[in-house]
Amino acid sequence: MKKIEIISATPELLKSPFSGSIMKRAIEKGIVEIKFHDLKDYSVNNKKQIDDYQFGGGSGMVLMIEPIKKCVDELKKQHDYDEVIFMTPDAPILSQKISNELSIKGNLIILCGHYKGIDQRVRDAIVTREISIGDYVLSGGELPAAVLCDSIVRLIPGVLNDETSALTDSFQDNLLAPPVYTRPANYNGMKVPEILLSGNKKKIEEWREEKSLIKTKTIRPDLID
């Protein structure tokens, strides 16, 4: 079973994304175990302090190294982990390639940033990988952590009912997915392309490849370049 440990200053924000749909089924099947760890449980004093002012001045509080180090050390006493991942906007952006790679790795620790960020020494000495979900700033790393987990877990064998489904997702072959249709074949004059109703699998695949290429060239030409 793959273990994913998420360290957060506000773990209550994480409960909802893992309580339904594919993530819930993966947990219930015993394919993945996801645990949330409240950084305040590893605070440096009785006041549950986990952050402090910046050296050198400046606005915003910074997560301290000591509670993070205590939490990671405690987890590592129990299991081995392939990566300690820090979710932060100033990092390489999450891609399908990264999700594929992490899906076949062992246990993971995901650290959520908060406030102004974390002490740089955490990034230098504890974190093994940094990931962003886009060029924008959120209040914390909890939502990015949930996004990362979803993108990883759905790729693990046994999670999706049709395991080939993930292989045809956008970005798996650097192309966006082609249009998809379902019943009815004709809705108020809007018809499904005849080729998809033909039963000719070879022609259908050719059509899908062509539509994927056109869509990618139009919307994300950078993927082809």
pLDDT digits (tens, 9 = 90+) for 188-219: 999 999 999 999 999 999 999 999 999 999 99
pLDDT tens per residue, range 146-157: 999 999 999 999
Confidence band for 163, pLDDT divided at 50, 70 and 90:
low
Quick one: tokens of 211?
Answer: 């539509």
Q: Taking the domains of the chain in order of start, what are their residue ranges?
A: 2-153, 170-224
- Give the whole-angstrom CA distance, residue 222 versus residue 152: 24
Q: What is the pLDDT of residues 7-38, one digit of tens each?
A: 999 999 998 999 999 999 999 999 999 999 99
The average pLDDT across 116-132 equals 97
Q: What is the mean pLDDT of residues 42-46?
A: 89
Please state the pTM of the whole predicted model. 0.89
Dist. CA 9–CA 142, nearest whole Å: 9
Q: What is the mean pLDDT of residues 112-118?
A: 92
Q: What is the DSSP string of 178-198?
A: PP---S-SEETTEEPPGGGGS
Q: What's the pLDDT band for 186 if we cut at 50, 70, 90? A: very high
**Mean pLDDT of the region 125-136:** 97
pLDDT of residue 64: 97
To the nearest whole percent, how much of the chain has pLDDT over 90?
A: 85
Checking if the pLDDT of 129 tops 70, the result is yes
| Residue 115: per-residue pLDDT | 86
* CATH homologous superfamily for the domain 170-224: tRNA(m1g37)methyltransferase, domain 2 (1.10.1270.20)
**162-169 own/partner pairs: CB under 8 Å, 24+ apart:** 169/96
Fold of 2-153: Alpha/beta knot (3.40.1280)
* Whole-angstrom distance, CA of residue 162 vs CA of residue 206: 22
**What SS3 class is residue 66?**
helix
pLDDT tens profile 54-78: 999 989 999 999 999 999 999 999 9
